[in-house]
């Protein structure tokens, strides 16, 4: 049987590369369809083109020639083609008798292929793989299942297409969609000013491209997809505009009308990596680190979005954000825009809350009023889960009838942080080990700035907060969770550096179940 090269993995494998002819075919394809194409559409076109080209080539090689099969007899002068030799062809120059015990009597034909004489069996009566029926060979080549080839090898071809087009300035890419720059619609400064005005009238947005284009008086003869692609390209390259839709959608917003906290990371959320030896962390501490799921702990994400319950930390409550941690991140898939606008729906009241996902700095802004209105404390349990459509999520908290609870409250005394236990009405489920609130936010903020200006080390901050927290427990022991929650009032840090310092410094003594004690004498010795 003839086996088309295009049905072999070796043809489409990791080394597959586009040729000059392929690039010309892509150009011709764009000229023919006159609209943007996805990488998948271009990949399909290239693979279908390669299959068709192979069929044409084979047709030419078969034209006027006989497909060689060992079972057939041939005369001198016969014009043969050999599919097994990549369709090499030649003329029979001699015929002689042949014999061997296995095959018996047969003929040996001499064929000149590219000026080299080669011998082949003919009139062979025994079975031979090349005797398979090649009568429908050309039909098989023409009827190659391109969909099957794409399923098997399309990723390799798509990679080659993307790499090649990326290297060519004449091709323009938006997301996973490509177009030729010369075929784009004209978008001038006037169009962009009009787009800005349209968004401003609509409170900054978000507006999809199809709602902006009708106001811009673009060339109506062009396909809508060309108008949209061209406008999107120019808006994306203009600092006035932000693309804020979830992946797979396009919606525009005026950047100057976005919240300041979306444009600039709130200071309390900024984390400067703290060098530490992760080898110091025991398996138990690593499990606790995963449980805390800080957004700056580089933890493996779950394979798919799942409902998440997280514990609210002071920096997040203070800034009005949700942390974009490893368990929460899959709920907000990466977008081509650094900022996404999303909607939360309160699962009890149906209230809509607008959030802004800032992927690079790992937070979702816009929850401050919702936290405040619902009285969610530091250490409170908040839950989110996928909503009914992309960009919409269900939001809630562990609602309960308000009760007066003993909670830790931070205060400021003589430029140092202190802690005390007081009763407060709490209407939200909370982690008792992490609830550390304050009634004097401004004073705590001043302590944070002071610690930042002095570039305090992790151990010095621990030495300040540990004794005050230990006074609140009979055993003078403090849980690692509590230390983590409290130290983040003075400096933003994930659990890793904190836990490593607890293990490293001789002043901190483990007493079991993640509780630690502080030895001031050892601290003085090691200071």
Q: What's the whole-model pTM score? A: 0.77
To 10 degrees, the CA torsion angle through 181, 185, 187, 192? -110
- Report DSSP letters for 382-429, one per residue: EEEEE-SSTTEEEEEE-EEEEEEEEEEEEEEETTEEEEEEEEEEEEE-
pLDDT confidence of residue 2: 53
Q: Of 62-71, 115-124, 432-441, 468-477, give the lowest mean pLDDT range.
A: 62-71
CATH class of 70-133: mainly beta
Task: Give start and end residues of each alpha helix (H) in 202-339.
Answer: 209-212, 224-236, 260-263, 283-292, 314-319
Beta bridge partners of 303: none
pLDDT confidence of residue 200: 95
Interatomic CA distance for residues 497 and 493, integer angstroms: 7
Task: Let me know: does 41 contact 161? Beta carbons within 8 Å.
Answer: no
Radius of gyration of the chain (CA): 35
389 pLDDT tier (thresholds 50, 70, 90): confident
Mean pLDDT of the chain: 90
* Digit-coded pLDDT (tens) for 209-240: 999 999 998 988 899 999 999 999 999 999 99
Exposure b/e, 338-349, CB count within 10 A at least 16 = b: ebbbbebbbbee
Instruction: Provide mean pLDDT across the span 366-392.
Output: 92
Residue 89 vs residue 486, higher pLDDT: 486
Q: Of 112-121, 184-193, 209-218, 303-312, give the lowest mean pLDDT range.
A: 112-121
Does the pLDDT at position 1 exceed 50?
A: no
CATH class of 184-258: mainly alpha
Residue 84 carries which DSSP code? G
What residue has token string 């304050």? 438
* Digit-coded pLDDT (tens) for 106-155: 888 899 888 888 999 888 888 877 776 554 555 555 567 888 889 988 99
The CATH number, out of the four listed (3.40.50.1820, 1.10.287.3510, 3.40.50.2300, 1.10.10.10), of the domain defined by the range 403-526: 1.10.10.10
Domains 184-258 and 295-400 in one fold: no
Domain boundaries, the chain: 5-61+141-177, 70-133, 184-258, 295-400, 403-526
CA–centroid distance for 288 within its chain: 26
Residue 57 vs residue 73, higher pLDDT: 73
pLDDT confidence of residue 143: 65
Q: What is the CATH T-level fold of the domain 295-400, as seen in this structure?
A: At1g16640 B3 domain (2.40.330)
* Digit-coded pLDDT (tens) for 242-274: 999 887 789 999 999 999 999 999 999 999 999
Interatomic CA distance for residues 517 and 500, integer angstroms: 15
pLDDT confidence of residue 79: 86
Q: Which two tokens stand for residue 293?
A: 């799921």
pLDDT confidence of residue 8: 80
């Amino acid at each position: 049987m003839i086996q088309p090269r295009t049905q072999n993995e070796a043809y489409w494998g990791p080394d597959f590369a586009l040729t000059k002819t392929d690039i010309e075919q892509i150009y011709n394809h764009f000229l023919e369809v006159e609209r943007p194409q996805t990488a998948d559409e271009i990949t399909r076109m290239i693979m279908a083109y390669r299959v068709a080209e192979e069929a044409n080539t084979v047709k030419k090689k078969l034209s006027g020639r006989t497909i060689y099969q060992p079972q057939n007899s041939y005369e001198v002068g016969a014009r043969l083609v050999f599919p097994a030799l990549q369709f090499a062809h030649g003329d029979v120059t001699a015929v002689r008798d042949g014999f061997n015990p296995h095959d018996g009597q047969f003929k040996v034909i001499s064929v000149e292929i590219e000026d080299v004489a080669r011998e082949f069996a003919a009139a062979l009566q025994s079975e031979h793989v090349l005797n398979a029926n090649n009568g429908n060979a050309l039909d098989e080549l023409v009827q190659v299942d391109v969909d099957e080839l794409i399923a098997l090898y399309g990723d390799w071809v798509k990679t080659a297409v993307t790499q090649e087009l990326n290297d060519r300035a004449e091709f323009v890419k938006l997301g996973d969609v490509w177009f030729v720059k010369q075929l784009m619609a004209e978008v001038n400064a006037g169009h962009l000013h009009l787009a800005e005005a349209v968004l401003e009238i609509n409170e900054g947005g978000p507006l999809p491209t199809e709602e902006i284009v009708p106001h811009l008086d673009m060339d109506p003869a062009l396909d809508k997809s060309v108008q949209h692609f061209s406008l999107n390209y120019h808006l994306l390259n203009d600092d006035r505009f932000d693309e804020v839709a979830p992946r797979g959608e396009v919606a525009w917003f005026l950047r100057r009308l976005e919240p300041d906290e979306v444009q600039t990371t709130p200071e309390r959320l900024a984390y400067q990596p703290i060098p530490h030896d992760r080898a110091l962390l025991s398996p138990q501490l690593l499990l606790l680190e995963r449980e805390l799921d800080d957004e700056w702990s580089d933890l493996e994400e779950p394979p798919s979005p799942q409902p998440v319950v997280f514990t609210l930390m002071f920096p997040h409550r203070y800034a009005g954000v949700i942390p974009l941690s490893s368990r929460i991140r899959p709920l907000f898939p990466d977008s081509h825009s650094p900022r996404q606008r999303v909607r939360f729906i309160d699962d009890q009241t149906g209230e809509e809350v607008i959030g802004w996902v800032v992927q690079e700095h790992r937070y979702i802004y816009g929850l401050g009023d919702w936290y405040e209105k619902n009285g969610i404390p530091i250490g409170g349990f908040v839950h989110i889960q996928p909503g009914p459509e992309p960009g919409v999520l269900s939001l809630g908290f562990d609602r309960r009838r308000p009760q007066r609870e003993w909670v830790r409250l931070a205060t400021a005394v003589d430029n140092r942080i202190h802690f005390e236990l007081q009763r407060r009405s709490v209407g939200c489920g909370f982690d008792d080990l992490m609830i550390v609130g304050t009634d004097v936010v401004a004073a705590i903020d001043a302590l944070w700035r002071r610690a930042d200006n002095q570039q305090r080390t992790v151990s010095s901050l621990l030495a300040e907060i540990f004794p005050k927290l230990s006074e609140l427990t009979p055993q003078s022991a403090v849980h690692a969770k509590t230390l983590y929650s409290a130290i983040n009032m003075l400096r933003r840090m994930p659990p890793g550096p904190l836990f490593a310092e607890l293990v490293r410094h001789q002043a901190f003594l483990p007493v079991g179940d993640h509780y630690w004690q502080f030895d001031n004498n050892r601290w003085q010795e090691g200071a």
